[in-house]
Amino acid sequence: MDWVSPFAPTDIADLPEIGGVRLATAAAGIKYRDRKDLLFVEFDKGANIGGVFTSSKCASAPVDWCRQHLAGGTARALVVNSGNANAFTGMRGQTSTLATAQAAAEAAGCRPEEVFLASTGVIGEPLDPAPFSAHLGRLAQEAKPGGFLDAARTIMTTDSFPKVASARADIAGEVVTINAIAKGSGMIAPDMATMLAFVFTDAPVSAAVAQRALAQAVPVSFNCVTVDSDTSTSDTVLLFATGAAADRGVVSIDNADDPALAGFYDAVTNVCRDLAIQVARDGEGLSKFIEVQVRGAVSDESARKVALSIANSPLVKTAFAGEDANWGRVVMAVGKAGEPADRDRLSIYFGDYRVASNGERDPAYSEEDVSNYMKNSALTLTVEMAIGTGEAHVWTCDLTHDYIAINADYRS
């Protein structure tokens, strides 16, 4: 069905170019007709790479491929397709990734191990490598600096808008650029990385720095999003650092502990958080975007588990869909999380309205005020546990008829 998120931006600006990154896209007919589904990215002088992947025990063939070659630390090309996830495809899946990497390597003039792959779409269908071989040679010739918005659009599946983010960071007084694109709308649950996201920077940093940047960013960005509690087989986040900024005099940094990287790490975290929020705002079928905040838990990790228990609860999510400030279901979700909690110290807020305190209904709260607040399309739910200093936030959405309609029809 042609569902469009009410949060879909009407006007999305393209991102700036990144030195050392060239992109090209094609309509390869992998599953969809009349739309682009193949992204080719080439790093002419190579890029140092970091990566984080799904924790699924049934990871896709491209995830296996990337994990295997990440240790090399260098990328020359990235190939991403939508329409088919190449997951649960057995030996044929491995044959397909190898053939695609070989075709891309030939096009880019590099070794197959320097090609990174990601696929998203239907699970369980064999992925024919022929469309890749047919297009990659031409794409390598056509690839140009820029075109990130087109790239973000090409990797969409059930997404209703392309997701891009950009930031500039200071390294030892010089500026570097960070661009990132992501896709994701359903089968979204935080566990390591969720969905596909690709971060590109001209910063002259090592693979160790790239890995550290993602290790810091992912837990507070992609791992804080849930649409439907379902973790994908294909989740992949890759960061490519071309080092092109060195030509402009930016100092090269190999040591991930170098304090000069603080601004760079923050900027990577910011673009990842920006994309993560965009994913939640494009949650399949949503009518409400919800930020769940948990404070006063025994630890940050405990707070995150409680926040996820709330954000994944079908009863909480349907209450939001019904614009019902149903704090009873929030209590239920806190209770089922299994984390330390003292029922009689809990307080619950919808927006700034406290509806419950010290384990029971707040006698002062106005049902009318809270009901009016619930009509907003972007909402905040805060749980104060009052037993510690741990805190977390999770971004999610409500559960609506449109989620059912989208997923009862779509073979993903």
CB of 141 to a copy of itself, least distance (A): 35
Residue from 79, 140, 218, 319 in contact with a copy of itself (CB under 8 A): 319
Q: Helix count (H) and strand count (E) of the chain?
A: 11, 14
Among 177, 326, 347, 396, binds a copy of itself (CB under 8 A): 326
Burial class of residue 408 in the structure, from the number of CB atoms within 10 Å of its CB (0-12 exposed, 13-18 middle, 19+ buried)? exposed
Is 194 designated active site? yes
**Binding mask of the shown chain, residues 35 to 54, with x at each position contacting a copy of itself by CB under 8 A:** -------------------x
The vertex-247 CA angle with 242 and 251, nearest 5°, equals 80
Instruction: Determine the Cα–Cα distance for residues 351 and 329; give it in Å rounded to an integer.
Output: 16
Is residue 215 a contact residue for a copy of itself (CB under 8 A)? Answer: no
Q: Which of 206, 407 has the CB closer to a copy of itself?
A: 407
Residue nearer to a copy of itself on the CB measure, 7 or 403: 403
CB-count exposure of residue 207 (10 Å: 0-12, 13-18, 19+): buried
By CB under 8 A, name the one of 29, 124, 137, 145 that touches a copy of itself.
124
By CB under 8 A, the residues from 217 to 256 that bind a copy of itself are: 228-233
CA 340, distance to chain mean position in Å, is 29
**One-letter amino acid for residue 260 of the chain:** A
Round to whole Å and give the CA distance between 305 and 299. Answer: 10
Task: Give me the phi and psi of 292, to 5 degrees please.
Answer: -100, 120
> Which range touches a copy of itself (CB under 8 A), out of 107-115, 176-184, 271-279, 359-367?
359-367
User: In angstroms, what is the minimal distance from the CB of 58 to a copy of itself?
Assistant: 3
| Dihedral sign (CA 64, 274, 291, 7) | negative
> CB under 8 Å to 54, separation ≥6 — which residues?
63, 191, 192, 193, 194, 231, 232, 233, 234, 235, 236
Active-site residue identified among 54, 97, 157, 194: 194
Secondary structure element (H or E) that encloses residue 264, with its range: helix 262-280
Instruction: Report, in Å, the least distance between residue 191 CB and a copy of itself.
Output: 7
Among 5, 48, 82, 89, binds a copy of itself (CB under 8 A): 89
81 part of the interface to a copy of itself, by CB under 8 A: no
Task: Enumerate residues 251-310 that contact a copy of itself by CB under 8 A.
Answer: none
* Least distance CB 347 / a copy of itself (angstroms): 11
Q: Which of residues 135-194 bind a copy of itself (CB under 8 A)?
A: 186-187, 189, 191
User: Could you say which residues in the range 327-346 bind a copy of itself, by CB under 8 A?
Assistant: 327-329, 331-341, 343-344, 346
403 touches a copy of itself (CB under 8 A): yes
* C-alpha distances in Å from residue 216, one per residue of 55, 94, 323: 17, 31, 35
DSSP secondary-structure letter at 260? G
Using CB under 8 A as the binding rule, whether residue 383 contacts a copy of itself is answered as no
Least distance from C-beta 157 to a copy of itself, angstroms? 13
Q: Is position 123 an interface residue for a copy of itself (rule: CB under 8 A)?
A: yes
Q: Is 355 helix (H, G, I), strand (E, B) or coil?
A: strand
Residue 53 β-bridge partners: 236
Tell me whether residue 173 or residue 363 sits nearer to a copy of itself (CB atom).
363
Q: How far is the CB of 164 from a copy of itself (least distance, A)?
A: 26
